[in-house]
Structure 1
Amino acid sequence: MTMELDHAGVRAQLSSDASALNLVEFWEQRMEIEIEEPRPRAVPYHWQWSDIQPRLAVAARTVPIEECERRALVFANPGLSGKPYITQTIFAAYSLYNPGEQAPVHRHTPNASRFVLEGKGGFTVVNGEKILMSRGDLVLTPNGCWHDHGNEGTEPVIWVDVLDVPLVESLNATMFEFDYVEDEQRRTVQSIAAPSGHSTHLYSRGGLTPTFVDHRRGRVDHSPMFVYRWKDTRAALDAMSSLPGSPYDAITVEYTNPVSGGPVMQTMSYRSTLLRAGERTLPQRRTSSSVFVVLEGTGKTEINGKTFEWKPNDVFCAPPWSWYQHESTGGEAALYSVTDEPALKKLGLMRKQARNDDGTIFELEVA
């Protein structure tokens, strides 16, 4: 008995000493380290446009652009303890610009994009290329590219921003720069240095890549095509709509780098999905996380047994290793999505599983 008490006392002293030395006893933490499958802190969640739009309107009236520079309501996943992230690796927000407003030029290490929802007259200038934006257009502002954006129309413009901020932050590599210099003068906006339609003219014809230009536009490798038009994406989806598609992803296209054929950015993949009338996909789960924006139609998505009914401009997320499946309930539906899959593939951590109607689970991909 005395030996047992002595042993317990020694162990207690060891624990105290370890704590004082900023050490953790592995045997006390083992079950938190050697987990059998991912345990994401982010939870499935759905933000309804009908809830958000009136609040954005209030922000448009009461929050001056001079105060915020970029007027946005940021998605804060309720599983992430108030952090302004929609998943543990992705930041997303609804942004609104009133007529005449413009955010000052800046650049940063996180990759960023905007996906247009409402209004005409919105624009982004990326590395000297001015891009006018319409509903459903995807505009890229990759790592290291100077960009400014605003609204030269007569009505508010709203888009969804998506960045890999939490991923970059976890790697301690976040840097924002605002000291833009042109002709040895600090400026708040860029001069237009590229002809109108530059990205589209050079890169929008599938299978054809110009040989007479430098495709590197910025500090890292990413797509040199800074805008992907919804009219072209919708036409591609329509052209494929009679094909069987995937039982898990329906008719889905990925926005790709026209030079490499890979994803448009090193860390994120952007996609659009067409769900045909009444189509219901089979369940799948991935080690990547996904954010979905509803562009057309109505439907519902089941994530880990919880059903979210969605309409245009709604946003919802599927955290890593969450079973999810989509269903169109009102004719055709179109979803835009962003996933951190490229980052996981580069790290050798990408895994996809599917589940058939009989409950059988099988591997779709291990990369």
Structure 2
Amino acid sequence: MSKLLSRRDRQEEIRKGLEGMIKEIEGEDLRVVTFMEYTEPSPPVKPKIIKFSNVLPLLRRLAEMGRVEKGVAKVMFYSPSTGRSRGLTPTMMAGFQYLAPGARTEPHSHNMASIYIVVKGEGSSIIGGEVFSWSEGDVFVVPANIEHSHMNEGQEEAILFDVTDSGLLENMGILEFRQEMSEVKK
């Protein structure tokens, strides 16, 4: 039979009298924890709301500036309480992508999976060389490590909301991005 331990920080108590030995091991980017179960748990991630009406002007301005891609903007959100993951939760990140009429993203891939919801507009995405058309309210999935790009084929702005598992991959230290070019399957 096992018992669930209530986590509380006992590091000072456990390490007492061992400071010299521990200092011999620790370095600029290395710390010793004596029994993880005797450390404070991470702070809880608080519920939050992201107001689209506040995000939209930022997306439009970023797209106008064209500092990453012409007519394209992307903002992601994270909670500092998730630490290294930089996610909204320790395993997930979410954000909005803006595409001006006629704009398209460069083909790229990453080892995170993404689920997109089309908030506004119409267009298509090339995913793994196959064209997928979308319009407002549609949901589409980009599996991990699949080359993809998105394009606005309408006369109005297109906005995508996506949720990824990048927080989990960032925590594991294995998040990767690639920019590539390949043929489109018709």
Report if TM-score (shorter chain) is over 0.5: yes
Q: Is the 8 A contact 1:114 1:140 kept in 2?
A: yes
Aligned partner of 1:15 among 19, 26, 29:
19
User: Given the alignment of the two structures, is residue 92 of structure 1 paired with residue 94 of structure 2, yes or no?
Assistant: yes
Please name the residue that 1:149 is paired with: 150
**Structure 2 letter corresponding to 1:102:** R
Cα distance change of structure 1 residues 20 and 167 upon mapping to structure 2, 3 Å threshold: same
Q: Secondary structure at the match of 2:69?
A: helix
CA apart distance, 1:17: 1.7
Could you say which structure has the larger radius of gyration?
Answer: 1
Q: Is the 8 A contact 1:65 1:103 kept in 2?
A: no
CA apart distance, 1:30: 4.6
For residues 180 and 111 of structure 2, the distance between their equivalents in structure 1, rounded to whole angstroms, comes to: 15
| CA RMSD, Structure 1 to Structure 2 (Å) | 2.6
Q: Is the 8 A contact 2:106 2:149 kept in 1?
A: yes
User: Given the alignment of the two structures, is residue 42 of structure 1 paired with residue 50 of structure 2, yes or no?
Assistant: no
CA apart distance, 1:162: 1.4
**Structure 1 letter corresponding to 2:160:** W
**Structure 2 letter corresponding to 1:58:** R
For residues 139 and 106 of structure 1, the distance between their equivalents in structure 2, rounded to whole angstroms, comes to: 17
TM-score, normalised relative to structure 1: 0.41
Please name the residue that 1:79 is paired with: 81
Q: Is the 8 A contact 2:66 2:72 kept in 1?
A: no
For residues 56 and 25 of structure 1, the distance between their equivalents in structure 2, rounded to whole angstroms, comes to: 43
Cα distance change of structure 1 residues 150 and 64 upon mapping to structure 2, 3 Å threshold: farther
CA apart distance, 1:102: 1.0
Please name the residue that 1:119 is paired with: 121
For residues 19 and 80 of structure 2, the distance between their equivalents in structure 1, rounded to whole angstroms, comes to: 34
Please name the residue that 1:332 is paired with: none
User: Given the alignment of the two structures, is residue 31 of structure 1 paired with residue 38 of structure 2, yes or no?
Assistant: yes
Q: Is the 8 A contact 2:72 2:103 kept in 1?
A: no
TM-score, normalised relative to structure 2: 0.76
Deviations 1:272-295 (A, max 9, x none): xxxxxxxxxxxxxxxxxxxxxxxx
Q: Is the 8 A contact 1:112 1:161 kept in 2?
A: yes
For residues 169 and 84 of structure 1, the distance between their equivalents in structure 2, rounded to whole angstroms, comes to: 8
Q: Secondary structure at the match of 2:49?
A: strand
Q: Secondary structure at the match of 2:58?
A: helix
CA apart distance, 1:97: 0.4
- Which consecutive unaligned segments of at least 5 residues does structure 2 have? 1-15
Identity of aligned residues (%): 24
Which structure carries more relative contact order (alpha carbon 8 Å, separation 6+)? 2
User: Given the alignment of the two structures, is residue 55 of structure 1 paired with residue 58 of structure 2, yes or no?
Assistant: yes
Q: Is the 8 A contact 2:147 2:180 kept in 1?
A: no
CA apart distance, 1:48: 1.2
For residues 19 and 58 of structure 2, the distance between their equivalents in structure 1, rounded to whole angstroms, comes to: 51
**How many pairs were matched up?**
167
Cα distance change of structure 1 residues 84 and 169 upon mapping to structure 2, 3 Å threshold: closer
CA apart distance, 1:62: 2.3
